């Protein structure tokens, strides 16, 4: 995610070897400037950043440490823009209304789903509204997302005016005592005055607490330009940078808030619902400096892991009662944590590794698909009591799940090993559930890296 930038910073810092070496500082700042521009950091931001780092380093005496501190402070300053951070609830009413805006295909609908999922995990009652009537399949797309994350949706197929949809959705949200209403709108070209006018009308009728602009990271500097246009035309309170996972340069995230004058609130780091990260400047700086984001990781895990369930499972393991239903539940929980790659980059010192790692896809990994197929072919009794599964049952399962007997045996063995190991681990206080997950998630190669998600 941030690995290109982190590597650049490392290389730059490496230029300063001795104390008070003004020449080396000059070389370092020159390279810093080059690297930032190459990463697509806006040229104005780059200039300010480099000047500030140079000045601050000189103030405290040239050296690697002072340079690092200067870089850290400057980055934090640049990323911090006046305005809200993360998701902020209304202080005017019990309902928080958010209007989602952005260009065609920028990721509005996906991000609406991701935000809804993020809020749901934090125990909020969320309603999403399908106010994109421009594209034929738009309502259907949001319906599918809402169903997938189990969040309520408001749509009205007899309605042709998005303004009315937004209004009705808000009434529904108030009546239904929802905490948050997210209104997904039609994609538009910045120059499309008609659509912009429509957005303005929606804004006037629902009076949203915040307007989010979803910017596609892959459009580079254009993301900054279009966000500025939207800010000037209708006013925005936050930017969400989508598709950051595909952005190998990464610099847009550094300069967009600074240039637009609106905070970057979230970044989208994949196509799936959990692939959304809250953008808190000092945490991001920590990641940029290769120091990870322990706070963010803990917060993410706390939102996803059900403490009560985790305890129940630990108990079962200790008693040797861990079964296939528990196994599936654990897999689902892992899925909710989102992309492995982004999780790993939050662990101190692991940023580098995340860059080399091919992302593991919990939903589509062949291994997990096979495990799921096998378990879903089991009878409820078999799921509850793994020891029931004998040779003839194995044969039936292999046919039912479309797997070879070798594959079935392999999975069952993995499960057995995992339960054994889990039992051992839970004896030591039940802390190392993750290691158990690592065993289960695919056994040997391609399995989950150990010790993640604590």
How far is it, in rounded angstroms, from Cα 247 to Cα 164? 37
Q: Please report the sign of the dihedral spanned by the C-alpha atoms of residue 174, residue 85, residue 112, residue 42.
A: positive
Contact track, ligand GTP, 254-273, x by CB under 6 A: --------------xxxx--
Nearer to ligand GTP, 21 or 271 (CB): 271
Count the neighbouring beta carbons within 10 Å of the beta carbon of residue 421: 17
Instruction: Tell me if 102 contacts ligand GTP by CB under 6 A.
Output: yes
Residue of 74, 109, 170, 377 that binds Mg ion (CB under 5 A): 109
CB of 278 to ligand GTP, least distance (A): 14
**Under 8 Å between Cβ of 131 and 97:** no
**Per the structure block, which two tokens stand in for 228?**
């500025």
How far is it, in rounded angstroms, from Cα 66 to Cα 85? 28
Pick from 290, 279, 244: nearest CA to 39: 244
Site for ligand GTP in 124-153 (CB under 6 A): 132, 135, 138
Instruction: Tell me if 274 contacts ligand GTP by CB under 6 A.
Output: no
Q: Using CB under 5 A, which of the segments 46-54, 103-111, 221-229, 272-280 binds Mg ion?
A: 103-111
Size of the site for Mg ion (CB under 5 A): 2
- What are the beta bridge partners of residue 211? 99
Q: Using CB under 6 A, which of the segments 59-67, 102-110, 307-315, 366-374 binds ligand GTP?
A: 102-110
Instruction: Tell me if 242 contacts ligand GTP by CB under 6 A.
Output: yes
Residue of 105, 197, 402, 451 that binds ligand GTP (CB under 6 A): 105
107, interface contact from Mg ion, ligand GTP, none, CB < 5-8 Å by kind: ligand GTP
237, interface contact from Mg ion, ligand GTP, none, CB < 5-8 Å by kind: none
CB of 132 to Mg ion, least distance (A): 5
54, interface contact from ligand GTP, Mg ion, none, CB < 5-8 Å by kind: none
Pick from 115, 126, 139, 133: nearest CA to 238: 115
What Cα–Cα distance (Å) separates residue 291 from each residue in 225, 345, 414? 31, 9, 34
Nearer to ligand GTP, 127 or 317 (CB): 127
Q: Is 31 exposed, middle or buried (0-12, 13-18, 19+ CB in 10 A)?
A: middle
User: Residue ranges of the alpha helices (H) in 279-404?
Assistant: 281-288, 294-304, 307-319, 324-336, 340-344, 351-356, 366-376, 380-384, 391-401
CB of 124 to ligand GTP, least distance (A): 21
Site for ligand GTP in 173-192 (CB under 6 A): 187
How far is it, in rounded angstroms, from Cα 93 to Cα 77? 32
Q: Footprint of ligand GTP on this chain (CB under 6 A)?
A: 102, 104-110, 132, 135, 138, 187, 242-243, 245-246, 268-271, 275
């Amino acid at each position: 995610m941030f690995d290109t930038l982190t590597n650049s910073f490392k290389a730059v810092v490496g230029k300063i070897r001795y104390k008070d070496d003004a020449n080396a500082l000059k070389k370092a700042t020159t390279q810093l400037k080059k690297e930032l521009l190459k990463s697509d950091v806006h040229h104005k931001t780059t200039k300010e950043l480099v000047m500030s780092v140079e000045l601050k380093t000189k103030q405290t005496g040239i050296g690697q440490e002072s340079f690092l501190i200067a870089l850290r402070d400057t980055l934090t300053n640049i990323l911090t823009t006046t305005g809200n951070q993360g998701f902020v609830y209304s202080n005017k009413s019990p309902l928080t209304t958010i209007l989602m805006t952005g260009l065609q295909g920028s990721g509005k609908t996906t991000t609406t789903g991701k935000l809804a999922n993020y809020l749901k995990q934090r125990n909020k009652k969320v309603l999403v509204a399908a106010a994109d009537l421009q594209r034929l399949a738009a309502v259907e797309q949001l319906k599918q997302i809402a169903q997938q994350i189990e969040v309520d949706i408001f749509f009205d197929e007899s309605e042709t005016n998005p303004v009315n949809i937004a209004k009705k959705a808000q009434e529904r949200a108030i009546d239904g005592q929802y905490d948050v209403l997210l209104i997904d709108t039609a994609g538009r070209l910045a120059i499309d005055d008609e659509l912009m006018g429509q957005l303005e009308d929606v804004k006037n009728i629902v009076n949203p607490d915040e307007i989010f602009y979803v910017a596609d990271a892959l459009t580079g500097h254009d993301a900054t330009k279009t966000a500025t246009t939207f800010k000037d035309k209708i006013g925005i309170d936050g930017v969400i940078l989508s598709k950051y996972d595909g952005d190998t340069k990464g610099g847009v995230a550094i300069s967009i808030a600074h240039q637009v004058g609106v905070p970057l609130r979230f970044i989208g780091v994949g196509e799936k619902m959990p692939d959304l990260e809250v953008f808190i400047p000092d945490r991001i700086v920590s990641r940029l400096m290769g120091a990870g984001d322990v706070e963010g990781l803990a917060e993410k895990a706390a939102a996803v892991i059900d403490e009560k369930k985790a305890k129940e499972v630990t108990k079962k393991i200790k008693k040797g009662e861990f079964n296939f239903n528990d196994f599936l539940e654990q897999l689902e929980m892992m899925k909710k944590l989102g992309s492995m790659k982004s999780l790993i980059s939050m662990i101190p010192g692991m940023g580098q590794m995340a860059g080399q790692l091919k992302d593991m896809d919990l939903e589509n990994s062949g291994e997990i698909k096979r495990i799921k197929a096998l378990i879903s072919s089991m009878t409820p009794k078999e799921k509850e009591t793994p020891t029931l599964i004998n040779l003839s049952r194995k044969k039936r399962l292999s046919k039912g799940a479309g797997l070879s007997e070798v594959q079935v045996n392999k999975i069952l063995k993995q499960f057995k090993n995992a339960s054994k190991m889990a039992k051992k681990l839970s004896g030591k206080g039940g802390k190392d559930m993750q290691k158990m997950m690592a065993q289960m998630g695919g056994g040997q190669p391609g399995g989950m890296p150990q010790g993640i998600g604590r």
